[in-house]
Amino acid sequence: MLHPVGELPAGVYWRRRALVLGIALSVAGGGGWLAASVGSGTTPVTPAASSDSAAEPSLDTPSLEQVVPSLAAVQTPAEQTPLESAPVATETAPPPVAPAAGPVEGQACTDDMLAVDVVPAAPQAAVGTKPTFTLVVTNIAGVSCTRSLDAGLREVVLLDAAGTRVWGSNDCFPERSSEPRTLAAGEAVSFPVQWGGLTSEPTCTVTRANPPAGAYQLQGRLDTKVGGATPFTLV
């Protein structure tokens, strides 16, 4: 055994014996290590993969939770309340409209219940004469009413064709009186006024003169009620 015999050199046979001995020792040592690992419950470490396999991404199998969502993640539609039916609009007849209240018997005469006019004694007069005009206040309402007809509230004015005031009955000779009056429906009350034929203004401080001949207008007033214009001519 120690001196091998063969056709080959002795060194070759020694190397073969050393290789066989090393293999036998490796097998014996690996078996002992495996037995020790099993006995101690330790899992043998798997050798690391090669550099090529490590560079590739791992394709893990998706877990069941990734494939099937949990019941908590699944939203179920909330219970819907049935739509309430809209109330049906019903047409109701409008309430009857009460008739507008008209004038009441014996109430105060408002301006729209009265008519104020000026009636000249003649449609024309000569310059410098003293014509007479009549102020007429008429209750045109269907009921009686009361109104103050004081002299200070009554007035007749003369206007020229342009509407400029030429004369007023209360300018230079104002009158004062207290004349509350109840006017029956349709009743007219007359107040004559004589004009002196001269111009005037409310303060009566401007020199008075005869207005020239021409077309003029007469207009009556009772406090806040102003009547329409009546033509008048001076010749």
Residue pLDDT, tens place only, 57-84: 444 555 545 544 554 555 555 555 555 5
- What is the average pLDDT across 16-34? 68
Residue 228 inside a domain? The answer is: yes
Residue 141 inside a domain? The answer is: yes
Residue from 134, 143, 142 nearest 116 by CA: 134
Q: Do the beta carbons of residue 230 and residue 119 sit within 8 Å? A: yes
Residue 112 inside a domain? The answer is: yes
Residue 180 burial (CB count, 10 A): 9
Residue 89 inside a domain? The answer is: no
Separation in Å, CA 77 to CA 70, 73, 81: 16, 13, 12
Residue pLDDT, tens place only, 98-127: 656 778 999 999 999 999 999 999 999 999
pLDDT at 197: 96
* Domain hosting residue 114, numbered range: 107-234
In the chain, the number of structural domains is 1
Element (H, E) at 65: helix 64-67
Half-sphere exposure for 127 (CA within 13 Å, toward CB): 10
Domain CATH number, residue 191: 2.60.40.2360
Residue pLDDT, tens place only, 168-178: 999 998 888 88
Residue 75 inside a domain? The answer is: no
Residue 140 inside a domain? The answer is: yes
Sign, CA dihedral 54-56-61-65, equals positive
